[in-house]
Chain A
Amino acid sequence: MKRSIPFEIFRYAVILLALAVTLIPILWMLSMAFKPIGEWSATGAELTWWPNAPTLSNFRFIFGESDSSLIVALDRTALKPILSSLLSATLGTLIAMTAGTAAAYGLSRFGSGQNLPLALTQLRLFPPMAVMIPVMIMWAFLNLTDTWWGLALVYGIVTLPFAFWLMKTFFDDMPRELEEAGLVEGCSRWRVFTKITLPMMRAPLASAALFVFILNWSDYLIALLLTTREWVTVPVYMASLSSSMTGQLYGAKAALGLIAAVPPVIMGIAIQRHLVRGLTFGALKQ
């Protein structure tokens, strides 16, 4: 449809405004991450939008180098929280994808596990805060509190609905000729699943896994409740970065925020095609 010139001007004006609103918070953190301490906040003076003297000292600081302009040194570096986030999100993704893919295939092909769609939808609906008391008690009992594997187990369960629904729609959409050919050839159904179906579904599996990983990586509340010291994740560690001596460590936090924010944004762009499907539980496809 041909649009008029005034419409095009209107469209670009609105989009530019939306882009500005979208980018300002992100750019502010980006610039903060490279600002030396003197430019962190405008106490009376002019606010600097872009660092006058860009520096990597914030990044060096969170990885343990003491900063002479700050009186405090960190009692622990960002290295272990990053490791904790990576490990727990990865294992959590593995658990959710394994259980979710298997159950989705069972339901899609053999109609097994009829209760799962409702159960998993309700699981998604509940605020995590409302089911954490028993989990905290159980985890303390099982010695899983403050471990990355204990956290991963919760992540695996919390993101199971997403893995399940995504894989179910992928299996439903998949042509079945090859599977049937495999059965005629005399393969067992298990062999058909592992040797024919799964290899064919490599790309959808990867997208679903990335989607689930982003969700796990983004968690704050669960890690806040289940990790206390040894295995705190990046968001929990970031929130704890302030001291009574210096107040908010703006630059250091921004540097850490940047490290936390970059992987999911890149992954999200990589799986843009499947975002709608994942977010709507497969009810909608792009």
Chain B
Amino acid sequence: MSVATASEDAMATLAAEGRAVARDEAARLGFRLALPAQILVLFIAVFPLLMQLYISLTDWSPLSGIGWWNAWELWNSFANYTDLAADNRFWSALWRTFVVMIVCVPAEFLLGLGLATLFADDFPGKRLFYSILLMPMMVVPAVAGYMFFMLFQSGGPMNDILSALTGTRVAIAWLSDPTLALAAVMMADIWQWTPLMFLILLAGLVGVPEDQMKAATLLGANAWQRFTTIVLPKMKTIIIIALAIRVIENFKIFDTLYIMTGGGPGVATETISVYIYKLTTQDLIWGYVAAIALAILLVLSIATVFAMKRMAAAREARA
């Protein structure tokens, strides 16, 4: 008996050792698998950020004639950051970026939600219509920008359609009018990204349980009541995700806009990305650009952490 327990003990020890080896193997492999991604993150995020911080405290530019590591010779303490606070063009670009966002994201959301509700049940032609409606979001944004550039020429199809509808000769120079250029840029954004809202919201709508809807109908709820009491609460998370994606992406708006107007006329459609781009490639004041970029990154990071905390809190409250 004692021999049997001894051998059982030995077996148990062996098994434990085997598990430890397996754990070790797993940990080692896991580390190696994560390594390429870690290196890439370090290479593009951590190191460049430190470099950006360093340059942002100097007057360095590619025309300074010294390497970036010698930028301390042009040290200007926090002058770039104090300049930023007084830079009207920066603040108006930021404001314009928010205006575009405040118009485009809700418009895309409402149009996408409306279309999604029409696609919730089956009807002839559904699959074909669905595929066609998704096309704009797959078009290369720069090409979409060029499409809308053509549409909004004063001798272009947009005015032609308006002429046909109103019966008078319309010849609006869309892209050379400050207000209309901004409107045109927004229309292009809405055209391209409503399909994304439609796609995501439809995926959410399909997940709403049919039996609950039927029960509510039997209880006498009308379509609007069913929508507000069953569909909307069920879709809350999905709606938040869809809105968050568009807010993030819309804040970066560049490609379509830059191709359509180049930020003009004047600075009428200059958003934050366009402003930074011009400073980078035309004014070449990279120290200042680094300061702007870091300020934006800082604000966005705080916003992300805050949003993630809120989401975690919401998840806990539900559990």
- The stretch that binds B, out of A57-65, A73-81, A97-105, is A97-105
Question: Is there a chain B Cβ closer than 8 Å to A53's Cβ?
Answer: no
Q: Would you call A138 and B48 a contact (CB within 8 A)?
A: yes
Q: Would you call B135 and A265 a contact (CB within 8 A)?
A: yes
CA distance A105 to B144 in the complex (A): 36
Q: Which of B56-94 contact A (CB under 8 A)?
A: 62, 68
A49: chain B residues at CB < 8 Å are 157, 160
CA distance A15 to B43 in the complex (A): 47
Closest residue of chain A to B120, judged by CB? A1
Closest residue of chain A to B52, judged by CB? A134
Q: A25-B144, A134-B52, A269-B131 are in contact. Are A157 and B255 (CB under 8 A)?
A: no
Closest residue of chain B to A163, judged by CB? B37
B34 to chain A, nearest CB (A): 3
Taking a contact as CB atoms closer than 8 A, the residue among B135, B153, B254, B297 that contacts A131 in the complex is B297
Question: Is there a chain B Cβ closer than 8 Å to A127's Cβ?
Answer: yes
A247 to chain B, nearest CB (A): 11
Interface string of B297-312 (1 = CB under 8 A from A): 1001100100010000
CA distance A193 to B26 in the complex (A): 11
Q: Would you call B29 and A129 a contact (CB within 8 A)?
A: no
Q: A41-B155, A280-B200 are in contact. Are A135 and B44 (CB under 8 A)?
A: yes
Binding site secondary structure of chain A: helix
- Tally of chain A residues near chain B (CB < 8 A): 99
Question: Is there a chain A Cβ closer than 8 Å to B221's Cβ?
Answer: no
Most chain A beta-carbon neighbours within 10 Å: one of B55, B139, B144: B139
Q: Would you call A261 and B143 a contact (CB within 8 A)?
A: yes
Taking a contact as CB atoms closer than 8 A, the residue among A128, A140, A218 that contacts B140 in the complex is A218
Q: Would you call A120 and B41 a contact (CB within 8 A)?
A: yes
Interface string of B1-45 (1 = CB under 8 A from A): 000000000000000000000000111011111111110110111
Q: Would you call B141 and A218 a contact (CB within 8 A)?
A: yes
CA distance A31 to B270 in the complex (A): 31
A23: chain B residues at CB < 8 Å are 132
Q: A106-B33, A189-B29 are in contact. Are A261 and B140 (CB under 8 A)?
A: yes
Taking a contact as CB atoms closer than 8 A, the residue among A126, A218, A253 that contacts B300 in the complex is A126
Most chain A beta-carbon neighbours within 10 Å: one of B29, B131, B238, B289: B29
Most chain A beta-carbon neighbours within 10 Å: one of B52, B118, B138: B138
Supply 29 A–B pairs (Cβ within 8 Å), ascending by A: A1-B214, A8-B123, A14-B115, A19-B132, A22-B195, A24-B157, A25-B147, A28-B150, A42-B155, A103-B38, A106-B33, A112-B30, A119-B41, A120-B37, A120-B41, A123-B45, A127-B254, A127-B296, A129-B254, A133-B280, A134-B49, A137-B55, A156-B40, A221-B254, A221-B258, A224-B277, A225-B280, A235-B142, A286-B203
Closest residue of chain B to A118, judged by CB? B308
CA distance A23 to B129 in the complex (A): 11
CA distance A48 to B242 in the complex (A): 39
CA distance A150 to B127 in the complex (A): 40
Question: Is there a chain B Cβ closer than 8 Å to A130's Cβ?
Answer: yes
B286: chain A residues at CB < 8 Å are 133, 137
CA distance A58 to B3 in the complex (A): 90
B33: chain A residues at CB < 8 Å are 102-103, 105-106, 110, 112-113, 193
CA distance A135 to B294 in the complex (A): 14
Q: Would you call A276 and B140 a contact (CB within 8 A)?
A: no
A164: chain B residues at CB < 8 Å are 37
Most chain A beta-carbon neighbours within 10 Å: one of B26, B114, B147: B147
Q: Would you call A134 and B48 a contact (CB within 8 A)?
A: yes
Closest residue of chain B to A32, judged by CB? B150
Q: Which of A168-191 contact B (CB under 8 A)?
A: 188-190
Taking a contact as CB atoms closer than 8 A, the residue among B40, B51, B115 that contacts A99 in the complex is B40
